[in-house]
Amino acid sequence: MIGYVTRSDPVTGARMINVTRVIDVVRTCLLAAVIVTVCLARPAPGFATARGVAIVVTLGLSALGWIIWMLAGQKASRISVGSLIVMGAAGGVLAGLSPNSPALAVGCAATFSAGVRLKTEVSLGIVAETLAGFLIAGLLAGTQTGALFGYPFAFAGLWSVSLTRREFLVRAEQAERTLAETRRAREAETQAAALAERARIARDIHDVLSHSLAAVSVNLQAAGGLLAADSLPADNPDLAKAIECIDRAGTLTREGMTAARRAVMALREDAGPLADQLSALVSQYRMAGDMDVSFTVAGTVRPLDEKAGLTAYRTAQEGLTNARKHASGQPVALSLRFEPGAITVSVTNPLPPAGQDAGSLAASGGGYGLTGLRERAALAGGTLEAGPVAGNWQLALRMPA
In this prediction, residue 250 carries a pLDDT of 75
Examine residue 43 and say whether the peptide bond preceding it is cis (omega within 30 degrees of 0): yes
User: 277 near 271, Cβ under 8 Å?
Assistant: yes
Separation of first and last alpha carbons in the chain: 44
User: 246 near 227, Cβ under 8 Å?
Assistant: yes
In this prediction, residue 232 carries a pLDDT of 53
| CA–CA gap between residue 346 and residue 334 (Å, rounded) | 6
In this prediction, residue 228 carries a pLDDT of 65
Per-residue pLDDT of the chain (401 residues), as tens digits, is 444 455 555 545 555 566 677 888 888 999 999 999 999 988 889 898 999 999 999 999 999 999 999 888 766 678 889 999 999 999 999 999 998 888 999 999 999 999 998 888 999 999 999 999 999 999 998 888 888 888 999 999 999 999 998 888 889 889 999 999 999 888 888 878 877 777 777 777 766 676 677 677 777 777 777 666 655 555 667 667 777 777 777 777 776 776 666 666 666 655 568 888 888 888 877 876 667 889 999 999 888 887 788 889 888 988 888 887 777 778 899 999 999 989 999 999 888 766 555 444 344 344 457 788 888 888 888 999 988 888 888 999 999 98
Q: Amino acid identity of 143?
A: T
**Residue 293's closest CA among 259, 271, 324?**
324
Question: Which tens digit of pLDDT belongs to each residue from 50-106?
Answer: 999 999 999 999 999 999 998 887 666 788 899 999 999 999 999 999 988 889 999
Q: Hey, which residues does 388 pair with through a beta bridge?
A: 393
Q: Hey, which residues does 339 pair with through a beta bridge?
A: 342
Burial class of residue 186, CB neighbours in 10 A (0-12, 13-18, 19+): exposed
| CA–CA gap between residue 397 and residue 379 (Å, rounded) | 13
Contacts of 299 (CB under 8 A, 6+ apart): 337, 338, 339
User: 83 near 65, Cβ under 8 Å?
Assistant: yes
Q: Amino acid identity of 106?
A: V
- Quote the pTM value: 0.49
Sorted by where each starts, the structural domains of the chain and their CATH numbers stand as 2-143 (no CATH), 273-401 (3.30.565.10)
Read off φ and ψ for residue 74, nearest 5 degrees. Answer: -90, -5
Contacts of 288 (CB under 8 A, 6+ apart): 258
**Residue 347's closest CA among 294, 306, 305?**
294
**Residue 397's closest CA among 389, 381, 388?**
381
Provide the pairing of β-strand 331-339 with 292-298. Answer: parallel
- Tally of CB atoms within 10 A around 305: 10
In this prediction, residue 363 carries a pLDDT of 42
Helix H, strand E, coil C: the string for the chain is CHHHHEEECCCCCCEEECHHHHHHHHHHHHHHHHHHHHHHCCCCCCCCCHHHHHHHHHHHHHHHHHHHHHHHCCCCCHHHHHHHHHHHHHHHHHHHHCCCCCCHHHHHHHHHHHHHHCCHHHHHHHHHHHHHHHHHHHHHHCCCHHHHHHHHHHHHHHHHHHHHHHHHHHHHHHHHHHHHHHHHHHHHHHHHHHHHHHHHHHHHHHHHHHHHHHHHHHHHHHHHHHHCCCCCCCCCHHHHHHHHHHHHHHHHHHHHHHHHHHHHHHHCCCCCCHHHHHHHHHHHHHHHCCCEEEEEEECCCCCCCHHHHHHHHHHHHHHHHHHHHHCCCCEEEEEEEEECCEEEEEEEEECCCCCCCCCCHHHHHHCHHHHHHHHHHHHCCCEEEEEEECCEEEEEEEEEC
